[in-house]
Amino acid sequence: MKAQDYHTESREVAGVAIKVTTYKIGDLYHCHIANADPGATIARAEAATRDEAERSAVAKATERLKTPVPK
Amino acid sequence: MRTYANPQMLVTTQWVDEHKNDAALVIAEVDVDTAVYNEGHIPGAIGWNWQTQLCDTVQRDIISRTALENLLGSSSISNNSTIVLYGDNNNWFAAWALWQLKMYGHKDVRIMNGGRKKWLAESRELTRDVPTPKPMMYKVSGYNDKYRAMMRQVQKAMEDENVILVDVRSNDEFTGKILSPPGLPETCQRGGHIPGAKNIPWAQACNDDGTFKSADELEALYASKGVTRDKPVIAYCRIGERSSHTWFVLNELLGYPNVSNYDGSWTEWGNLVGAPVEKGA
Q: What is the pLDDT along chain B (281 residues), one digit of tens a residue?
A: 789 999 999 999 999 999 999 999 999 999 999 899 999 999 999 999 999 999 999 999 999 999 999 999 999 999 999 999 999 999 999 999 999 999 999 999 999 999 999 999 999 999 999 999 999 999 998 999 999 999 999 999 999 999 999 999 999 999 999 998 988 876 789 999 999 999 999 999 999 999 999 999 999 999 999 999 999 999 999 999 999 999 999 999 999 999 999 999 999 999 999 999 999 98
Furthest C-alpha separation in chain A: 43
- B203 in reach of chain A (CB within 8 A): yes
- B169 in reach of chain A (CB within 8 A): yes
Out of 1.10.260, 3.30.67, 1.10.3470, 1.10.287, the CATH code matching A3-66 is 3.30.67
Least Cα separation, residue A21 to chain B (angstroms): 10
**C-alpha–C-alpha distance, residues A1 and A23, integer Å:** 13
3-class secondary-structure state, position B242: helix
Identify all chain A residues contacting B183, using CB atoms and an 8 Å cutoff: 16, 35, 40, 42, 61, 64-65, 69
Is B92 in contact with A71 (Cβ distance < 8 A)? no
Identify all chain A residues contacting B35, using CB atoms and an 8 Å cutoff: 44
- Assembly ipTM: 0.89
Is B123 in contact with A69 (Cβ distance < 8 A)? no
Nearest to B187 among A30, A65, A69 (CB): A69
Give how far Cα B194 sits from Cα of B49, B108, B154, B197, Å: 30, 34, 9, 6
Nearest to A37 among B119, B126, B201 (CB): B201
Contact B230, B203 (CB under 8 A): no
- A37 in reach of chain B (CB within 8 A): yes
Q: What is the side-by-side strand order in the sheet with B46-48? A: B10-11, B109-112, B82-86, B25-30, B46-48
Domain ranges of chain A: 3-66
- Residue B229 main-chain phi, psi, to 5 deg: -70, -15
Q: Which of B54, B99, B105 is nearest to B80 (CA)?
A: B105
List domains and CATH numbers for chain B.
7-143 (3.40.250.10), 146-269 (3.40.250.10)
Residues of B serving a catalytic function are 237
Q: Which residues of B21-48 are buried (b: 16+ CB within 10 A; e: fewer)?
A: eeeebbbbbbbbbbebbebbbbbebbbb
- B120 in reach of chain A (CB within 8 A): yes
